[in-house]
Amino acid sequence: MKLRLYFLVVIFLAATCAVLAASSSRWDHVPAKDHARANPLAGSPDSVSAGELIYRDHCLQCHKENAAGDGHKKPALRSPRMRSATDGDIEWFLRQGDLGHGMPSWSNLPQAQRWQLVTYLRSIQ
């Protein structure tokens, strides 16, 4: 009887964690300092072009042409989720990656190139 009760409690906690994880936005984890960070290259036409080249070199293979994603694990980058993010959120996410879900960290790109990529991603929303 006691064992069954423990089992039910564990199931309940696991389900609660899963629901909480699913309902929280990816951007909720971004530190306030990074969230508020402004893109120094925002709106620059050269940065859009350079960002597109960076996208082609590094992101296209997974996120596909027009950032449409592959319909499976590699998400579209023209999405309400992207539109809800600040430039700082996106730069932070590029730097961090999400290794557990297949997204490499792009901390090895110079920061200026990450901002150029953010500028391009903004331009296609």
Partner 1 sequence: MPTQSLKGSLLSNPFGLGLLVALFFVFGPAPALQSQEKPYFITYSQDLEEPGNLEIESKTTLGQPEDANRFGAMNVEFEYGVLAWWTTELYLDGQTTADESTLFTGFRLENRFRPLMREHFINPVIYVEYEDINGADKMLLEVVGHDGQADLSEPNDEARKEQKHEAELKLILSSNVKDWNISENFIAEKNLNHSPWEFGYAAGVTRPLRSLASAKPCAFCLEKFIAGVEAYGGLGDTDSLTLADTSHYIAPIIGWQLPRGRLSFSPGFGLTSTSLDRVYRIGLSFEINQFGSYFRAGKGGA
The binding site for partner 1 (CB under 8 A) comprises: 45-47, 49-51, 53-54, 56-58, 61-62, 70-72, 95-113, 116
Pick between residue 8 and residue 70 the one whose CB is nearest to partner 1. Answer: 70
C-alpha angle with apex 105: 104 to 111, nearest 5 degrees? Answer: 140
Give me the least distance between CB of 52 and partner 1, in Å please.
Answer: 9
What is the distance between the alpha carbons of residues 122 and 71, in angstroms, rounded to a whole number? Answer: 21
CA distance to 85, 88, 89, per residue, from 82 (Å): 5, 12, 9
Query: CB of residue 119 vs partner 1: minimum separation in angstroms?
Result: 11
What is the smallest separation between the CB atom of 5 and partner 1, expressed in angstroms? 34
